[in-house]
Amino acid sequence: MKRKSIYKILWRVLLFCLAWRFTSVAGAGTAITAYIVFRADCFLLRVCFSVLYALGVALLFLLFSC
């Protein structure tokens, strides 16, 4: 398994645990909000990893093209 996949799984587990803890303390109305925030964080994580990967590839290309 790639390191990127492991980090993604660990990040999702951490976010899920935080959301679960928050919803167990709060009511049902905030559970929906916590789920929406969890899904948004997963989406942003996917976008950030894509951007970092693209920047890394561009940097390697610039370093080795000279």
The total domain count for the chain is: 1
**Is the whole-model pTM more than 0.85?**
no
Cβ atoms of 11 and 48 within 8 Å: the answer is no
pLDDT band at 1 (very low <50, low <70, confident <90, very high): low
Which pLDDT score, from 0 to 100, does residue 66 have? Answer: 58
Which pLDDT score, from 0 to 100, does residue 39 have? Answer: 79
d(CA 30, CA 27): 6
- Residue holding tokens 């920047």? 55
Which pLDDT score, from 0 to 100, does residue 63 have? Answer: 79
**Residue 23 pLDDT greater than 80, yes or no:** no
How high does pLDDT run on average in the chain?
75
- Domain membership of residue 20 as a residue range: 3-65
CA 51 from chain centre, in angstroms, equals 12
